[in-house]
Amino acid sequence: MNTAVALDKTGSPLSEPVYELSNVSKTYARNLVVALEDVSLTLRKGSFTSVIGSSGCGKSTLLKIMAGLIPPSQGRVTLQGQPVTGTRRDIGMMFQQATLFPWKTAVENIVLPIEIRDGKAAATKALGKAHELLEIVGLKGFEDVYPNELSGGMAQRASICRMLITEPAVLLLDEPFSALDELSRDMMNMELQRICREQDATAFLVTHSIQEAVILSDEIVVMKPRPGRVAEVVKVDLPRPRTLDMMTTPKFGEIVDYIRGMLDKGEDL
For the chain, how far is it from start to end, CA to CA, in angstroms? 46
Q: How many residues does the chain have?
A: 269
Residue 89 to residue 250: CA distance in whole angstroms: 41
Interaction between residue 207 and ligand ATP (CB under 6 A) = no
Which amino acid appears at position 126 of this protein? A
* DSSP 3-state percent helix, strand, coil across the chain (nearest 5): 35, 25, 40
**Residue closer to Mg ion (CB basis): 60 or 209:** 60
Among 25, 50, 60, 211, binds Mg ion (CB under 5 A): 60
In angstroms and rounded to an integer, the radius of gyration of the C-alpha atoms of the chain is: 19
CA dist 211 to 20, 57, 88, 173, 196, Å? Answer: 26, 19, 31, 16, 18
Interaction between residue 240 and ligand ATP (CB under 6 A) = no
Segment near ligand ATP (CB under 6 A); pick from 41-49, 56-64, 73-81, 101-109: 56-64
Residue 208 to residue 43: CA distance in whole angstroms: 20
Interaction between residue 61 and ligand ATP (CB under 6 A) = yes
Segment near Mg ion (CB under 5 A); pick from 54-62, 119-127, 189-197, 255-263: 54-62
Which amino acid appears at position 147 of this protein? P
Interaction between residue 30 and ligand ATP (CB under 6 A) = yes
Segment near ligand ATP (CB under 6 A); pick from 7-15, 26-34, 75-83, 142-150: 26-34
Among 15, 22, 33, 196, binds ligand ATP (CB under 6 A): 33
User: Total residues at the site for ligand ATP (CB under 6 A)?
Assistant: 12
Among 25, 50, 60, 159, binds ligand ATP (CB under 6 A): 60
Which residues make up the interface to Mg ion (CB under 5 A)?
Answer: 60
Which residues make up the interface to ligand ATP (CB under 6 A)?
Answer: 28, 30-31, 33, 35, 55-61
